[in-house]
Protein backbone atom coordinates (compact mmCIF):
# COMPACT_ATOMS: atom_id res chain seq x y z
CA UNK A 1 0.00 0.00 0.00
CA UNK A 2 1.42 3.35 -1.01
CA UNK A 3 2.25 5.69 1.86
CA UNK A 4 0.38 9.02 1.70
CA UNK A 5 2.46 12.07 0.86
CA UNK A 6 2.98 14.87 3.34
CA UNK A 7 0.41 16.94 1.43
CA UNK A 8 -2.17 14.18 1.89
CA UNK A 9 -1.82 14.20 5.66
CA UNK A 10 -4.63 15.80 7.64
CA UNK A 11 -3.87 18.22 10.46
CA UNK A 12 -5.95 18.04 13.63
CA UNK A 13 -5.55 21.08 15.84
CA UNK A 14 -7.24 21.46 19.22
CA UNK A 15 -6.67 23.01 22.63
CA UNK A 16 -7.01 21.34 26.03
CA UNK A 17 -7.56 23.44 29.16
CA UNK A 18 -6.41 21.53 32.23
CA UNK A 19 -8.89 21.83 35.14
CA UNK A 20 -7.86 23.28 38.48
CA UNK A 21 -8.12 19.92 40.25
CA UNK A 22 -5.83 18.01 37.87
CA UNK A 23 -3.15 15.87 39.54
CA UNK A 24 0.35 15.89 38.06
CA UNK A 25 0.81 13.41 35.22
CA UNK A 26 3.38 12.98 32.46
CA UNK A 27 2.37 14.87 29.33
CA UNK A 28 2.68 11.87 27.00
CA UNK A 29 0.56 9.70 29.30
CA UNK A 30 -2.04 12.41 29.75
CA UNK A 31 -2.48 12.99 26.02
CA UNK A 32 -2.55 9.27 25.25
CA UNK A 33 -5.46 8.97 27.66
CA UNK A 34 -7.33 12.04 26.44
CA UNK A 35 -6.85 12.12 22.67
CA UNK A 36 -9.07 9.75 20.74
CA UNK A 37 -7.24 7.01 18.79
CA UNK A 38 -3.83 8.31 19.92
CA UNK A 39 -0.99 5.95 20.78
CA UNK A 40 1.78 6.81 23.20
CA UNK A 41 4.39 6.52 20.45
CA UNK A 42 2.45 8.89 18.19
CA UNK A 43 2.01 11.38 21.04
CA UNK A 44 5.73 11.28 21.93
CA UNK A 45 6.68 11.92 18.30
CA UNK A 46 4.32 14.90 18.19
CA UNK A 47 5.77 16.36 21.40
CA UNK A 48 9.37 15.96 20.19
CA UNK A 49 8.56 17.53 16.81
CA UNK A 50 7.00 20.61 18.38
CA UNK A 51 3.40 19.75 17.46
CA UNK A 52 2.48 19.97 21.15
CA UNK A 53 2.94 23.15 23.15
CA UNK A 54 2.15 23.80 26.80
CA UNK A 55 1.39 27.41 27.70
CA UNK A 56 2.87 28.39 24.33
CA UNK A 57 6.20 26.61 24.81
CA UNK A 58 7.70 23.33 23.57
CA UNK A 59 8.26 20.85 26.41
CA UNK A 60 9.64 17.36 26.99
CA UNK A 61 7.53 14.23 26.87
CA UNK A 62 8.03 13.89 30.63
CA UNK A 63 6.68 17.36 31.39
CA UNK A 64 4.27 17.09 34.36
CA UNK A 65 0.84 18.36 33.38
CA UNK A 66 -0.37 20.80 36.05
CA UNK A 67 -3.63 22.56 36.93
CA UNK A 68 -4.63 25.41 34.58
CA UNK A 69 -2.11 24.45 31.88
CA UNK A 70 -3.18 25.14 28.32
CA UNK A 71 -2.06 22.42 25.88
CA UNK A 72 -2.16 23.06 22.14
CA UNK A 73 -2.00 19.93 20.02
CA UNK A 74 -1.52 19.54 16.28
CA UNK A 75 -1.44 15.93 15.11
CA UNK A 76 -0.94 14.66 11.57
CA UNK A 77 -2.78 11.64 10.23
CA UNK A 78 -3.67 10.15 6.85
CA UNK A 79 -7.15 11.05 5.61
CA UNK A 80 -9.79 8.39 6.25
CA UNK A 81 -10.72 6.15 3.31
CA UNK A 82 -13.80 6.91 1.23
CA UNK A 83 -17.08 5.67 2.64
CA UNK A 84 -18.51 3.22 0.09
CA UNK A 85 -21.99 1.74 -0.38
CA UNK A 86 -22.26 -1.90 0.67
CA UNK A 87 -25.11 -4.33 0.10
CA UNK A 88 -25.91 -5.14 3.71
CA UNK A 89 -29.42 -6.20 4.82
CA UNK A 90 -31.34 -3.51 6.72
CA UNK A 91 -34.51 -3.76 8.77
CA UNK A 92 -36.42 -0.68 7.57
CA UNK A 93 -39.24 0.25 9.94
CA UNK A 94 -40.37 3.42 8.12
CA UNK A 95 -39.33 5.20 4.95
CA UNK A 96 -40.46 8.37 3.15
CA UNK A 97 -38.95 11.19 1.08
CA UNK A 98 -37.43 12.94 4.14
CA UNK A 99 -36.26 10.26 6.54
CA UNK A 100 -36.23 6.61 7.45
CA UNK A 101 -36.24 4.65 10.68
CA UNK A 102 -34.14 1.51 10.96
CA UNK A 103 -33.84 -1.22 13.57
CA UNK A 104 -30.08 -1.63 13.97
CA UNK A 105 -28.87 -5.11 14.90
CA UNK A 106 -26.35 -5.66 17.67
CA UNK A 107 -22.80 -5.91 16.37
CA UNK A 108 -23.18 -3.23 13.69
CA UNK A 109 -21.22 0.02 14.06
CA UNK A 110 -23.39 3.07 13.34
CA UNK A 111 -20.91 4.98 11.17
CA UNK A 112 -17.33 4.52 9.90
CA UNK A 113 -14.59 5.36 12.38
CA UNK A 114 -11.10 4.22 13.34
CA UNK A 115 -10.78 0.46 12.68
CA UNK A 116 -14.37 0.31 11.38
CA UNK A 117 -14.46 1.67 7.84
CA UNK A 118 -16.78 -0.95 6.35
CA UNK A 119 -19.75 -3.03 7.36
CA UNK A 120 -21.38 -0.10 9.17
CA UNK A 121 -24.94 1.15 9.10
CA UNK A 122 -23.78 4.09 6.96
CA UNK A 123 -22.28 1.75 4.35
CA UNK A 124 -25.64 -0.02 4.16
CA UNK A 125 -27.59 3.25 4.00
CA UNK A 126 -25.47 4.53 1.10
CA UNK A 127 -26.45 1.42 -0.86
CA UNK A 128 -30.11 1.68 0.07
CA UNK A 129 -30.71 5.46 -0.24
CA UNK A 130 -30.31 7.78 -3.22
CA UNK A 131 -29.61 10.74 -0.93
CA UNK A 132 -28.63 11.36 2.68
CA UNK A 133 -27.89 14.50 4.68
CA UNK A 134 -24.20 15.40 4.96
CA UNK A 135 -23.43 16.59 8.50
CA UNK A 136 -20.00 14.95 8.30
CA UNK A 137 -18.21 13.05 5.47
CA UNK A 138 -18.11 9.87 7.57
CA UNK A 139 -21.65 10.17 8.97
CA UNK A 140 -24.15 10.84 6.16
CA UNK A 141 -27.71 10.75 7.43
CA UNK A 142 -26.77 10.03 11.04
CA UNK A 143 -28.79 12.13 13.49
CA UNK A 144 -27.99 10.06 16.62
CA UNK A 145 -26.00 6.92 17.35
CA UNK A 146 -26.21 3.60 19.13
CA UNK A 147 -23.20 1.71 20.48
CA UNK A 148 -22.00 -1.17 18.32
CA UNK A 149 -23.47 -3.84 20.59
CA UNK A 150 -26.68 -1.98 21.40
CA UNK A 151 -29.59 -2.89 19.15
CA UNK A 152 -32.64 -0.82 18.30
CA UNK A 153 -34.28 2.11 16.57
CA UNK A 154 -32.49 4.97 14.80
CA UNK A 155 -33.87 7.78 12.65
CA UNK A 156 -31.87 8.75 9.54
CA UNK A 157 -32.18 12.07 7.66
CA UNK A 158 -32.24 12.20 3.85
CA UNK A 159 -31.61 15.95 3.49
CA UNK A 160 -30.08 18.86 5.36
CA UNK A 161 -33.36 20.51 6.43
CA UNK A 162 -34.68 17.27 7.93
CA UNK A 163 -31.36 16.64 9.67
CA UNK A 164 -31.30 20.10 11.24
CA UNK A 165 -34.87 19.85 12.54
CA UNK A 166 -34.42 16.33 13.92
CA UNK A 167 -31.11 17.27 15.55
CA UNK A 168 -32.82 20.21 17.23
CA UNK A 169 -35.43 17.90 18.73
CA UNK A 170 -32.72 15.64 20.15
CA UNK A 171 -30.74 18.64 21.46
CA UNK A 172 -33.84 20.21 23.05
CA UNK A 173 -34.85 16.82 24.49
CA UNK A 174 -38.27 16.86 22.84
CA UNK A 175 -37.70 13.51 21.13
CA UNK A 176 -38.79 10.34 22.92
CA UNK A 177 -36.38 7.47 23.54
CA UNK A 178 -37.05 4.37 25.59
CA UNK A 179 -34.52 1.60 26.13
CA UNK A 180 -35.00 -1.83 27.68
CA UNK A 181 -32.15 -3.58 29.46
CA UNK A 182 -31.49 -6.76 31.40
CA UNK A 183 -29.38 -5.78 34.39
CA UNK A 184 -27.77 -7.38 37.40
CA UNK A 185 -29.57 -7.53 40.74
CA UNK A 186 -32.98 -6.66 42.14
CA UNK A 187 -33.94 -3.03 42.73
CA UNK A 188 -34.98 -1.69 46.14
CA UNK A 189 -37.20 0.91 44.46
CA UNK A 190 -39.47 0.21 41.47
CA UNK A 191 -38.40 3.42 39.74
CA UNK A 192 -35.93 6.26 40.10
CA UNK A 193 -33.76 8.91 38.49
CA UNK A 194 -29.98 8.83 38.09
CA UNK A 195 -28.50 12.34 37.87
CA UNK A 196 -24.72 12.13 37.57
CA UNK A 197 -22.35 14.05 35.22
CA UNK A 198 -20.34 12.03 32.72
CA UNK A 199 -16.94 12.49 31.11
CA UNK A 200 -14.14 10.42 29.67
CA UNK A 201 -12.49 8.18 32.24
CA UNK A 202 -9.06 9.36 33.33
CA UNK A 203 -8.02 5.74 33.88
CA UNK A 204 -9.16 4.41 30.49
CA UNK A 205 -9.81 6.74 27.55
CA UNK A 206 -12.11 4.18 25.92
CA UNK A 207 -14.54 4.34 28.83
CA UNK A 208 -16.82 6.99 30.27
CA UNK A 209 -17.16 7.68 33.98
CA UNK A 210 -19.03 9.80 36.49
CA UNK A 211 -16.83 12.84 37.12
CA UNK A 212 -17.55 16.06 38.98
CA UNK A 213 -16.74 18.37 36.05
CA UNK A 214 -18.44 16.17 33.43
CA UNK A 215 -21.46 16.97 31.26
CA UNK A 216 -24.90 16.79 32.82
CA UNK A 217 -26.50 13.35 32.37
CA UNK A 218 -29.92 12.21 33.60
CA UNK A 219 -31.48 8.75 33.20
CA UNK A 220 -34.89 7.62 34.48
CA UNK A 221 -35.51 3.92 35.13
CA UNK A 222 -38.52 1.73 35.87
CA UNK A 223 -38.45 -1.95 36.77
CA UNK A 224 -40.58 -4.11 34.44
CA UNK A 225 -39.82 -7.59 35.79
CA UNK A 226 -37.49 -9.01 38.45
CA UNK A 227 -35.92 -12.46 38.66
CA UNK A 228 -33.72 -14.10 41.26
CA UNK A 229 -30.58 -12.15 40.42
CA UNK A 230 -31.41 -10.18 37.25
CA UNK A 231 -34.01 -7.54 36.36
CA UNK A 232 -35.65 -6.23 33.20
CA UNK A 233 -35.88 -2.44 33.26
CA UNK A 234 -36.98 0.33 30.91
CA UNK A 235 -35.05 3.57 30.72
CA UNK A 236 -35.76 7.07 29.46
CA UNK A 237 -33.01 9.49 28.56
CA UNK A 238 -33.27 13.14 29.50
CA UNK A 239 -29.79 13.61 28.00
CA UNK A 240 -27.88 11.60 25.41
CA UNK A 241 -24.28 11.16 26.54
CA UNK A 242 -21.92 8.46 25.31
CA UNK A 243 -22.48 5.20 27.25
CA UNK A 244 -24.90 7.08 29.54
CA UNK A 245 -27.21 4.20 30.42
CA UNK A 246 -24.37 1.75 30.83
CA UNK A 247 -22.36 3.97 33.19
CA UNK A 248 -25.37 5.15 35.19
CA UNK A 249 -26.65 1.63 35.84
CA UNK A 250 -23.18 0.40 36.76
CA UNK A 251 -22.93 3.26 39.28
CA UNK A 252 -25.99 1.80 41.06
CA UNK A 253 -24.31 -1.63 41.14
CA UNK A 254 -26.77 -2.81 38.49
CA UNK A 255 -24.50 -3.09 35.43
CA UNK A 256 -26.12 -4.26 32.22
CA UNK A 257 -25.94 -8.02 31.87
CA UNK A 258 -22.96 -9.16 29.77
CA UNK A 259 -21.51 -5.62 29.44
CA UNK A 260 -17.79 -6.39 29.48
CA UNK A 261 -16.80 -2.71 29.54
CA UNK A 262 -18.65 -1.76 32.71
CA UNK A 263 -18.53 -4.92 34.80
CA UNK A 264 -21.64 -6.72 33.58
CA UNK A 265 -19.72 -9.78 32.38
CA UNK A 266 -19.03 -10.86 35.98
CA UNK A 267 -21.43 -12.23 38.58
CA UNK A 268 -22.62 -9.18 40.52
CA UNK A 269 -25.62 -10.64 42.38
CA UNK A 270 -27.05 -13.98 43.46
CA UNK A 271 -23.97 -15.81 44.70
CA UNK A 272 -21.01 -17.45 42.99
CA UNK A 273 -21.36 -21.16 43.73
CA UNK A 274 -20.71 -23.69 40.99
CA UNK A 275 -24.37 -24.03 40.01
CA UNK A 276 -24.84 -20.27 39.71
CA UNK A 277 -21.67 -19.89 37.66
CA UNK A 278 -22.95 -22.53 35.23
CA UNK A 279 -26.35 -20.81 34.99
CA UNK A 280 -24.77 -17.42 34.27
CA UNK A 281 -22.37 -18.90 31.73
CA UNK A 282 -25.32 -20.47 29.89
CA UNK A 283 -27.23 -17.18 29.88
CA UNK A 284 -24.22 -15.24 28.63
CA UNK A 285 -23.72 -17.75 25.83
CA UNK A 286 -27.20 -16.80 24.58
CA UNK A 287 -26.34 -13.13 24.11
CA UNK A 288 -22.61 -12.32 24.15
CA UNK A 289 -23.13 -8.53 24.27
CA UNK A 290 -24.63 -5.93 26.59
CA UNK A 291 -28.35 -6.67 26.96
CA UNK A 292 -29.51 -3.20 25.88
CA UNK A 293 -32.10 -2.38 23.22
CA UNK A 294 -33.43 0.99 21.99
CA UNK A 295 -37.04 -0.15 21.95
CA UNK A 296 -39.11 2.99 21.34
CA UNK A 297 -38.47 6.19 19.39
CA UNK A 298 -40.67 9.24 18.98
CA UNK A 299 -40.29 12.60 17.22
CA UNK A 300 -42.27 15.18 15.29
CA UNK A 301 -41.91 14.67 11.54
CA UNK A 302 -40.00 17.74 10.26
CA UNK A 303 -42.19 18.09 7.15
CA UNK A 304 -45.56 16.62 8.07
CA UNK A 305 -45.50 18.02 11.63
CA UNK A 306 -47.03 14.77 12.88
CA UNK A 307 -45.90 12.99 16.03
CA UNK A 308 -44.26 9.76 14.90
CA UNK A 309 -43.88 6.90 17.38
CA UNK A 310 -42.16 3.58 16.72
CA UNK A 311 -41.88 0.44 18.84
CA UNK A 312 -39.67 -2.58 18.16
CA UNK A 313 -39.67 -6.12 19.51
CA UNK A 314 -36.85 -7.18 21.77
CA UNK A 315 -34.20 -8.98 19.70
CA UNK A 316 -34.02 -12.77 19.81
CA UNK A 317 -30.93 -12.90 22.04
CA UNK A 318 -32.53 -10.81 24.81
CA UNK A 319 -35.78 -12.76 24.46
CA UNK A 320 -33.85 -16.00 24.83
CA UNK A 321 -32.30 -14.81 28.12
CA UNK A 322 -35.70 -13.69 29.46
CA UNK A 323 -37.36 -16.96 28.44
CA UNK A 324 -34.68 -18.94 30.27
CA UNK A 325 -35.10 -16.75 33.37
CA UNK A 326 -38.88 -17.13 33.34
CA UNK A 327 -38.65 -20.89 33.08
CA UNK A 328 -36.24 -20.98 36.01
Catalytic residues: 147
> Are residues 140 and 126 in contact, defined by beta-carbon separation less than 8 angstroms?
yes
Cα separation, 322 vs 182, in Å, equals: 8
Residue 72, C-beta contacts closer than 8 angstroms, at least 6 positions apart: 13, 14, 15, 52, 53, 54, 56
Region class of 96: left (phi > 0), else alpha (psi between -120 and 50), else beta:
beta
Cα separation, 141 vs 109, in Å, equals: 14
Q: Are strands 208-210 and 70-77 parallel, antiparallel or unpaired?
A: unpaired
The total number of residues shown for the chain amounts to 328
> Are residues 131 and 97 in contact, defined by beta-carbon separation less than 8 angstroms?
no
What is the crossing angle of helices 40-48 and 27-34, to 10°?
130
Amino acid sequence: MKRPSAKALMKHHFTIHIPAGQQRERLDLYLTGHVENATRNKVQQAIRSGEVRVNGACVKVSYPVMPNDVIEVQLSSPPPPDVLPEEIPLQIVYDDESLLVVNKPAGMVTHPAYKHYSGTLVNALLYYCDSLSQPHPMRPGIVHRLDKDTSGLLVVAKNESTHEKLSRQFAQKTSEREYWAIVWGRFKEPSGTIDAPLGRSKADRKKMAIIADGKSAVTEYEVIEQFEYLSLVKLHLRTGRTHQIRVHLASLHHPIFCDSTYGGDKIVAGGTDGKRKAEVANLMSLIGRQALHAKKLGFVHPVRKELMRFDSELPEDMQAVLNRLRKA
